[in-house]
Copies of this chain bind each other. A is one copy, B any other.
């Protein structure tokens, strides 16, 4: 067994430097690497390019890194719900590349699977297609999209073991497993870190070979963006 355990978020991110490209797992505020984000804010590393489906909200998630002006560019599919984000974007402090959510996901998968490019119909005939190669297969047009190239992937799992194997819980899975596969260096924070052998090999979502560092996170806030409920009859 190859041991991937590091002591905490600070140690896990110690070689993330100014100008790096990071992938951050999560959908909205669900399944985001809270501990790694806090450590990045503390470290103060800047000029980061962040690949993440969303950009957090004011005061939470990637929103925290926006407040400290650490992000140079966001690559996302949807960036609403964040006033500071909007301010920086409109003032030209922040660069944003918007790409379709499925394209974002598939470019992660392609990186993790060693596939340099794939074809998707998303964005054909729209401004997303500008400058891209279009190709027809069986009468339908597709865009060629490239695998992402990220220095680090920061992901959050529910359980992990010392060998780096990860299991995600419910819809907090989202982009986490595919970003875990895509990072040149992948850092996983987990709610519960167990010994190798305690997880069922059949239930592992991300094999440890894709994970370079793992630690047990602390004080997960797991903020809810839209609390929707129904009343009991």
Contact = CB atoms under 8 A, between A and B. Distances in A.
A83 interface: no
Interface in A150-202: 167-170, 173, 201-202
Interface residues of A, number: 25
Interface string A101-116: 0000010011001111
Nearest to A109: B113
A138 B120 CA distance: 21
Closest 4 CB pairs of A and B: A116-B137, A115-B118, A203-B203, A116-B119
Interface of A is mostly: mixed
Oligomeric state, in number of copies?
A: 2
A142 interface: yes
A98 interface: no
A170 B106 CA distance: 27
Contacts of A201: 170
A209 interface: no
A89 interface: no
Most buried by B among A113, A119, A120, A146: A119
A197 to B, nearest CB: 15
